[in-house]
Structure 1
Amino acid sequence: MKIKRTLFAALAMLATSFITPVSAHDDAPAHEVHRIAIQISDNNPGTFNKALNNATNMSKFFLSRGEDYEIEIVAYNAGLHLLRPDTSPVLDRIKSFTDSVPNVTLSACGNTIKGMSKKAGKQIEIVPNARVVPGGVIRLMELSDQDYFMIRP
C-alpha cells in the first residue's frame, strides 16, 4: 500500500509540473476602446446638433468611467454645408464643441468638396478644426472595418 501511495504522489507531482499557473491578468478583459462613427449627410442644423449632443454625452459617459473612446463625425453630400464657414449655421457650436470635447474628429468628404468647388467655380473651404478625407462613404466603410459603431441621427 505504501508503494501505491508513493507512486500516486510521484504521478501527481509529475502531472502538476506540466500545468502552467494562470495569473489574475490572464482572464482579465482586453483593454477596450469604444469607437463610434456618426454620419452627417443632410444639411440640417438640427441633425448636426443631435450628432454633437450625442458625441458630447458619450464623451462625458466614457470619461466618467475612465474608459477610452474615439468618435468620428463624417460629413458628406449636403451635410458638408455644416462644415463650411460660408454656409454653416452652427459655426459657434462647432468651435466650442471641438474645444471642449476630447477624442472627437470631424471629417469632411473630399469628393463632396471637389463637387461643390466645381459648382461654385472656386475652391470651397471647410472649418479649420475638420480634416478632409478622400470620400465620406469610403471613410465610414473604413471605420466599420475597424469595429466602429455607426450612428445616423
Structure 2
Amino acid sequence: MVSFIGWSRRGLLASTAILAAGAPAAAKEDRLTDGVVILIDSNEPYVMGHAISYSANLAKHFADKGARLLIEVVANGKGIDVFRADKTPLAGPLATLRQSLPDLAYSMCASSRAIAEAKEQVSIPLIPGANLVPFGIGRVVDLQLKGWAYIHA
C-alpha cells in the first residue's frame, strides 16, 4: 500500500499518474513476447546443441499453452559453424527442427562469414534454410528493441 502522508498535491497527482500509467504496463507483461532470439557465438558442439534444444523446448512450452512463438537462432563469430553446411555437426537435427517449426528462423552473421572465408580461403556454404544478416549482434539488438526476449546459448 502506498502512503500519501506528507506529499504535496503536485507530487500526489504525479504519483497517481505514474501508478495509473503502470497498470497497462503490468498487463503488457502478461502478454506473450513477440519472439525469442537465441545467440550462438561458440563452435562447441554442446553449446550449439543447447541452442537447438532451447528452440524445440520453447516452441513446445508455448504450444502447450496455445500460444505462437517466433524463434530466431542467430550465429555469430565462431558460432557460425552451426549453420555451415561443411562443418555443422547438427545438419540432421537442424533440418528436422526447421521442418517441424514453421516459426523458426536461422540467421548467420555475414561479417563473421566473410572473416572466416578470408582466413580459411574458402567459400562457406550455408545449410538449407539459413539466411545471412549483415551483423549477428546487430540482428540480436534489432529484435530486442522490437520486444523479443534474448537467450545466450
Residues 73-122 of structure 1, C-alpha deviation per residue, up to 9 Å, x if partnerless?
00010000111111111111111111112311110001011111112223
Calculate the TM-score normalised by the size of structure 2.
0.76
Change (3 A) 1:66 1:132: same
Q: Distance in 2 between matches of 1:126 and 1:143?
A: 22
1:48 alignment counterpart: 48
Q: Does structure 2 conserve the Cα–Cα contact (< 8 Å) formed by 1:33 and 1:67?
A: no
Which residue of structure 2 aligns with residue 132 of structure 1? 132
Give the alignment of 1:2-151 within 5 angstroms.
32-151=32-151
Q: CA deviation at 1:50?
A: 0.9
Identity %: 25
Q: Which amino acid aligns with 1:64?
A: D
C-alpha contact 2:33 2:149 (8 A) present in aligned 1:
no
User: 1 or 2, which has the higher helix percentage?
Assistant: 2
How far is the alpha carbon of 1:34 from its aligned partner?
4.0
Amino acid at match of 2:42: D
The alpha-carbon deviation at position 139 of structure 1 amounts to 0.5
Matched positions, count: 127
SS at match of 1:140: helix
Question: C-alpha displacement at 1:123, in angstroms?
Answer: 2.0
Q: Which amino acid aligns with 1:119?
A: K
Q: CA deviation at 1:30?
A: 9.3
What's the RMSD between the two structures over aligned residues? 2.1
